[in-house]
């Protein structure tokens, strides 16, 4: 039975990529192309980068649900990857096409609840329409952070204690569908991620450091990123990249720890090079999301 399910879960035809912001949609497209998979990107206008235009693509605006499904059907894309950052739209200020009007109760329901509730609802909605939703790691498994140091530097014993506490904080946040990251320094919780995202959280940490309110001198503290326990990982895997490292440096942190096998590393070479250059550790560690610790 497990074998049959694994076979059914494979990407068997043209891949549809529903693209938000950032560089990952193009990375996934390149990986699909390297595997010989035909693909078509549906880019959300105002969110996705113009870089998607080097691949077969269709642009849609928020509210053009019918146009989105039409593009997927015309290109026979029944296997989907949803990737890239998006801002939650205000339905009162967008123009709905007929496809959106037909699904209005579902769209209205997206205005309530946290991000994981919204994304899980989107996955179920697409699956009910016959699409197979895959994680980005199924197309490009090389993007996942492995276990152990990713660069030249390793965390100290003090850093490991901060990492352990930060993982506990992220797990607690996740149960409330709040965020995927936390900063801990010398056993002190400096910041937690909420709706503003990791970059803005790190900017707050940098402001604290500049004001003299951060503890310690020099590089101290860790950023930890991990998925929320039980979250829909196919469409919401945490991600780090070179900018994460740069903002961690500005915040005066000693390094970054991520949940091994559960966090994407965008632009891996550039991310690792940045960590090495600035003397930060970058490490993947097991995240005991299902344990009571």
Residue ranges and CATH numbers for the domains of the chain are 9-141 (3.40.50.20), 144-285 (3.40.140.80)
For residue 110, pLDDT over 80 is answered with no
| Secondary structure string (H, E, C) spanning the chain | CHHHHHHHHCCCCCEEEEECECCHHHHHHHHHHHCCCCEEEEEECCCCCHHHHHCCEEEECCCCHHHHHHHHHHCCCCEEEEECECCCCCHHHCCCCHHHHHCHHHHHHCCCCCHHHHHHHHHHHHHHCCCEEECHHHHCHHHECCCEECCCCCCCHHHHHHHHHHHHHHHHHHHCCCCCEEEEECCEEEEECCCCCHHHHHHHHHHHHHHCCCCCCCCCCEEEECCCCCCCCCCCCCEECHHHHHHHHHCCCCEEEEECCCCEECCHHHHHHHHHHHCCEEEEECCCCCCCC
**Number of alpha carbons in the 13 Å side-chain half-sphere of residue 211:** 8
Q: How do residues 132-186 score in pLDDT, each as one tens digit?
A: 999 999 999 999 999 999 999 999 999 999 999 999 999 998 778 788 899 999 9
For residue 227, pLDDT over 60 is answered with yes
For residue 196, pLDDT over 90 is answered with no
Q: Report whether 49 contacts 20 (CB < 8 A).
A: no
What was the pLDDT predicted at 49? 93
For residue 215, pLDDT over 60 is answered with no
Contacts of 285 (CB under 8 A, 6+ apart): 147, 163, 167, 257, 258, 259, 260
Q: How do residues 238-282 score in pLDDT, each as one tens digit?
A: 899 999 999 999 999 999 999 999 999 988 999 999 999 999 999
Within 10 angstroms of residue 93's Cβ, the number of other Cβ atoms is 8
Question: What's the angle, vertex CA 202, arms to CA 198 and CA 204, rounded to 5?
Answer: 120
pTM of the model: 0.80
Confidence of residue 223 (pLDDT cuts 50, 70, 90): very high
Q: What is the mean pLDDT of the chain?
A: 84
Q: How do residues 231-241 score in pLDDT, each as one tens digit?
A: 667 777 889 99
Answer with the residue of higher pLDDT: 166 or 127: 166
What was the pLDDT predicted at 292? 41
What was the pLDDT predicted at 291? 42
Contacts of 268 (CB under 8 A, 6+ apart): 142, 143, 150
What was the pLDDT predicted at 111? 57
Distance, CA of 14 to CA of 39 (rounded, Å): 5
Q: How do residues 51-96 score in pLDDT, each as one tens digit?
A: 999 999 999 988 888 999 999 999 999 999 999 877 766 666 677 7
What was the pLDDT predicted at 174? 79
Distance, CA of 168 to CA of 10 (rounded, Å): 34
């Amino acid at each position: 039975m497990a074998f049959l399910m694994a076979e059914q879960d494979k990407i068997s035809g043209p891949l549809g990529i529903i693209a938000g912001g950032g560089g990952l949609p193009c990375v996934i497209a390149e990986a699909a192309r390297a595997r010989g998979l035909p693909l078509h990107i549906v880019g959300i206008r105002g969110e996705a980068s113009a870089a998607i235009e080097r691949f077969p693509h269709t642009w849609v605006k928020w509210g053009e649900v019918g146009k989105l499904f039409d593009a997927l059907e015309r290109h026979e894309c029944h296997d989907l990857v949803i990737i890239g950052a998006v801002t939650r739209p205000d339905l009162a200020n967008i123009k709905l096409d007929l496809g959106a009007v037909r699904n209005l109760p579902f769209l209205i329901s997206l205005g309530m609840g946290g991000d994981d509730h919204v994304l899980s609802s989107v996955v179920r909605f697409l699956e009910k329409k016959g699409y197979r939703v895959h994680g980005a790691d199924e197309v490009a498994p090389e993007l996942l952070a492995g276990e152990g140091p990713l660069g030249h530097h390793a965390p100290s014993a003090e850093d490991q204690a901060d990492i352990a506490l930060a993982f506990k904080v992220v797990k607690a946040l996740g149960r409330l569908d709040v965020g995927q990251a936390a900063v801990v320094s010398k056993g002190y919780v400096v910041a937690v991620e909420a709706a503003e995202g990791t970059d803005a959280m790190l900017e707050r940490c940098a402001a604290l450091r500049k004001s003299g309110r951060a503890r310690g001198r020099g590089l101290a503290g860790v950023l930890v990123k991990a998925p929320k326990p039980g979250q829909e990982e196919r469409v919401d895997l945490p991600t780090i990249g070179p900018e994460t490292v740069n903002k961690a440096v500005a915040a005066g942190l000693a390094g970054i720890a991520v949940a091994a096998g559960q966090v994407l590393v965008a632009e891996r070479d550039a991310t690792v090079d940045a960590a090495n250059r600035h003397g930060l550790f970058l490490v993947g560690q097991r995240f005991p999301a299902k344990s009571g610790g």
